[in-house]
């Protein structure tokens, strides 16, 4: 005859084991959820300690835009100009960009010739998968690869820093393309074309990075931890939820904080920090183009561009800078030379070859709030050197990172070993406890 005391003890043991199994499984699931949101357990613990206290003080501008207030404020542009000495003939706060911009075959910049030469010169890939990142480029090999490509004369002025263009102040973010154009026009400037922006970043050598040929997180604000954005957080843009989301995601720095993140023309923070709106120099597609990447683990090179967002698209890491014509006595000739090319900020520009190249793929991770056409994943294509690139339909690096995280869960891609082990132990313990309970119930009825 079964011993009642034995059965009670067994039931207690089974209940404890089941509880342990459920706890382990829930803990593993929680870790997976944190992982998909770009957080570690340590990050989560830190955020819990912080509670609802903001990390930064924020300024709302026109009930549309946000700016993290930097301690100490910014330096007057006149002081910066005197020290830098790179703005001859330009309005206050701007640098002069002059020289030969490297084009592709047929005097076009949409063929991907420069990008292919850069990829071939990469000697150390961080990742060859999208978004591809190269740690080191061979300077001599790149110079040889672009030596026979044509150039175009350029001469214009560009803001030294991201808007509001002041050393020591944080960039203004959550700005649409149309708003950026209006803000530049208000200062008697224009939004830079993508070609103007690219040349100011890479110089006559067609450098991959503004600081040269090596990707250096100490030089520019790049490769910081990726965090999943909250859909709809920017509706409305000036609401408390938007402010909290900006505070959680913000990892940029005040303009000019990194003196090494300086282009050949003395322009700062062109890659990393925040994305920058420019005007397209192509005749097809959206006129709005994002350049430079932002603080996350995206390509953050001078050439790539994001082309799949319309003029009213807005995200948490979007900023801009302005361009203008020189104001010297020779400004009319310089302006005429620029106006004769697809560089002067005109809406219409060179025809689009439709080539699948790095230039046609996105560079910026945009935390989408309003979805726009063309943001669905496009097919992955392989270039001759084995580097994976994507069509323009693959429109956003943040989206690609988010999809990678989602695929890691839904399609069985292995997360970290500790998480796998926790799941396995939890499920095995739970299964064993249930099996023993069934056996115990069977003994009790026999």
So what's the pLDDT on residue 441? Answer: 45
CA separation (Å) from 372 to 64, 126, 272, 366?
A: 19, 30, 24, 12
Q: Which residues pair with 61 in a beta bridge?
A: 65
pLDDT score recorded for residue 179: 98
Alpha carbons within 13 A on the beta-carbon side of 154: 33
Query: What pLDDT score does 127 carry?
Result: 85
Q: Peptide bond before 231: cis, by omega within 30 degrees of 0?
A: no
pLDDT tens digit string along 203-219? Answer: 999 999 999 999 999 99
pLDDT digits (tens, 9 = 90+) for 121-162: 999 999 887 778 889 999 999 999 999 999 999 999 999 999
Preceding omega of 2 cis (within 30 degrees of 0): no
Share of the chain above pLDDT 90, in %: 54
pLDDT in tens, 226-236: 999 998 999 99
Would you say how long the chain is, in residues? 446
The sign of the CA dihedral 347, 350, 351, 354 is: negative
pLDDT for res 324: 98
Contact (Cβ atoms closer than 8 angstroms) between residue 318 and residue 275: yes
Residue 89 burial (10 A CB sphere; 0-12, 13-18, 19+): middle
Q: Is the pTM of this model over 0.85?
A: no
Instruction: Tell me whether strands 275-279 and 65-68 are parallel, antiparallel or unpaired.
Output: unpaired
Q: Pairing between strand 275-279 and 318-320?
A: parallel
Q: What is the mean pLDDT of each run of 10 residues along the chain (446 residues)?
A: 62 62 57 50 48 87 97 93 96 98 90 92 88 90 96 98 98 98 98 98 97 95 93 94 96 98 98 98 94 93 92 96 83 40 36 33 37 31 35 53 50 35 41 46 40
């Amino acid at each position: 005859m079964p011993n009642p005391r034995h059965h009670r003890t067994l039931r207690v043991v089974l209940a404890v084991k089941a509880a342990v199994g459920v706890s382990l499984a829930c803990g593993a699931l929680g870790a997976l959820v944190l992982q998909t949101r770009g957080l570690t357990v340590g990050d989560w613990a830190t955020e819990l300690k912080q509670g609802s206290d903001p990390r930064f003080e924020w300024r709302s501008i026109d009930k549309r835009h946000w700016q993290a207030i930097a301690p100490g404020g910014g330096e007057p542009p006149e002081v910066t100009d005197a020290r830098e000495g790179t703005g001859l003939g330009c309005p206050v706060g701007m640098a002069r960009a002059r020289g030969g911009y490297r084009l592709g075959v047929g005097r076009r910049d949409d063929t991907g010739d420069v990008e292919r030469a850069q990829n071939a010169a990469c000697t150390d890939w961080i990742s060859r998968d999208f978004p591809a990142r190269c740690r080191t480029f061979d300077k001599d090999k790149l110079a040889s690869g672009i030596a026979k490509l044509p150039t175009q004369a350029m001469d214009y002025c560009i803001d030294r820093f991201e808007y509001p263009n002041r050393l020591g102040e944080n960039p203004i973010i959550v700005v649409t393309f149309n708003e950026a154009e209006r803000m530049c026009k208000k200062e008697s400037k224009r939004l830079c074309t993508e070609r103007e922006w690219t040349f100011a970043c890479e110089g006559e050598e067609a450098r991959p990075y503004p600081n040269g040929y090596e990707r250096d997180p100490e030089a520019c604000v790049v490769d910081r931890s990726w965090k999943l954005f909250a859909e709809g957080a920017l509706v409305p843009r000036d609401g408390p939820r938007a402010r909290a989301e900006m505070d959680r995601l913000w990892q940029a720095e005040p303009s000019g904080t990194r003196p090494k993140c300086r282009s050949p023309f003395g322009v700062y923070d062109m890659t990393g920090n925040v994305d920058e709106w420019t005007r397209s120099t192509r005749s097809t597609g959206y006129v709005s183009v994002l350049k430079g990447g932002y603080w996350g683990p995206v390509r953050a090179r001078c050439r790539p561009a994001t082309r799949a967002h319309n003029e009213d698209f807005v995200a948490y890491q979007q900023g801009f800078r302005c361009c203008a014509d020189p104001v010297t006595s020779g400004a009319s000739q310089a302006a005429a030379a620029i106006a004769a090319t697809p560089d002067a900020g005109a809406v219409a520009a060179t025809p689009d070859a439709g080539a699948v190249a790095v230039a046609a793929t996105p560079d910026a991770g945009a935390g989408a709030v309003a979805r726009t056409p063309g943001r669905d994943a496009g097919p992955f294509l392989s270039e001759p050197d084995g580097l994976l690139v994507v069509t323009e339909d693959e429109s956003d690096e943040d989206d690609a990172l988010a999809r990678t995280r989602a695929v890691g869960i839904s399609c069985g891609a292995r997360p970290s070993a500790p998480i796998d082990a926790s799941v396995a132990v939890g499920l095995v313990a739970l299964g064993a406890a249930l099996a023993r309970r069934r056996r115990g119930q069977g003994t009790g009825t026999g």
